[in-house]
Every structure is written in C-alpha cells, then in structure tokens.
Amino acid sequence: MNGHKCNQLRMTNDELESSFLDNSLVSAFRRVISEHLLEKCF
C-alpha cells in the first residue's frame, strides 16, 4: 500500500516540476516536501 502511495506522490512531483520549472522557490519547496514524504515511504 505504501509503495502505491509513493508512486502517486512521485507522479504528482513530476507534474509540479513541469508546471513550475521556472519557479525556483516552488522547486525548492517541492524538493523539501518530496524528501520528507519519501522518508516516510521507506
């Protein structure tokens, strides 16, 4: 179950990255969030 949720989060991160590629603030924010979420996944 956790693995599936992690895959969904990764897809969401990819979508955000392509949407806000030019916004470094959002990029940094997203990176912190994804690192925090991946910590919980594994």
Predicted confidence at residue 31, as pLDDT, reads: 84
Considering only residues 34 and 11, tell me which one the structure prediction assigns the higher pLDDT. 34
Per-chain mean pLDDT for the chain: 68
- What are the extents of the domains in the chain? 2-41
pTM above 0.85, yes or no: no
Q: Is pLDDT of 33 > 80?
A: yes
Q: Is pLDDT of 27 > 80?
A: no
Side-chain half-sphere exposure of 1, counting CA atoms within 13 A: 0
DSSP conformation letters of 2-41: HHHHHHHHHHHHHHHHHHSTT-HHHHHHHHHHHHHHHHHH
